[in-house]
A = this chain, B = another copy of it.
Amino acid sequence: MPASGMQSPRVVIVGGGFGGLYAAKALSNEAVDVTLLDRKNHHTFQPLLYQVALGVLSPGEVASPLRQILHPARNLRTLLGEVVGIDAAARTVRLSDGEAVAYEYLILAAGARHAYFGRDEWAHHAPGLKTIEDAVGIRSRLLLAFERAERQAHLSGRREPLSFAIIGGGPTGVELAGAIADLARLALAKDFNAINTKQARIRLFEGGPRILSALSEDSSRKAARQLEQLGVEVCTESLVQTVESGRIKVRDEWIATDLTLWASGVAPSLLGKMLGAAMDRSVRVLVEQDLSVPGHREVFVIGYMAALVDANGTPVPGLAAAAMQEGQQAARNILRDLQGRPRESFRYTDRGSMATVGHHRAVAEFGRWHLSGILAWLLWSIVHVFLLIGFRNRAAVMRQWMWAYATRKGGSPLITDCQQPEAARHAK
Contacts and interface: CB of A to CB of B under 8 A. Distances in A.
Interface in A76-133: 77, 79-81, 95, 97, 99-101, 132-133
A133 B60 contact: no
Interface in A155-195: 155-156, 190-194
Nearest to A81: B151
Given A68-B413, A71-B193, A79-B147, 16 more contacts: A41-B147, A41-B413, A41-B415, A58-B59, A59-B416, A61-B412, A63-B412, A63-B414, A65-B412, A79-B154, A79-B155, A80-B148, A99-B156, A133-B417, A136-B418, A419-B419
A79 B155 CA distance: 10
B81 A416 contact: no
Please classify the interface of chain A as helix (H, G, I), strand (E, B), loop, or mixed, using the class held by over half of its residues: mixed
A6 interface: no
A41 B145 CA distance: 12
B59 A151 contact: no
Interface residues of A, number: 55
A192 B65 CA distance: 12
Contacts of A336: none
A403 B396 CA distance: 12
Nearest to A67: B191
A150 interface: yes
Contact of A418 (B68, B133, B193, B194): B133
A150 B81 CA distance: 11
Given A58-B59, A79-B151, A80-B147, A415 B42 contact: yes
A154 B194 CA distance: 58
Interface of A: 35, 40-42, 58-61, 63-65, 67-68, 71, 77, 79-81, 95, 97, 99-101, 132-133, 136-137, 143-144, 147-148, 150-152, 154-156, 190-194, 392, 403, 409, 411-419, 427
Given A67-B191, A392-B403, A154 B416 contact: no
Nearest to A100: B155
Nearest to A97: B427
A138 to B, nearest CB: 12
Contact of A71 (B151, B155, B190, B411): B190
14 contacts: A40-B415, A41-B413, A58-B60, A60-B411, A63-B416, A65-B412, A68-B191, A68-B413, A80-B147, A80-B148, A80-B150, A133-B416, A133-B418, A137-B418
A184 to B, nearest CB: 14
Nearest to A152: B99
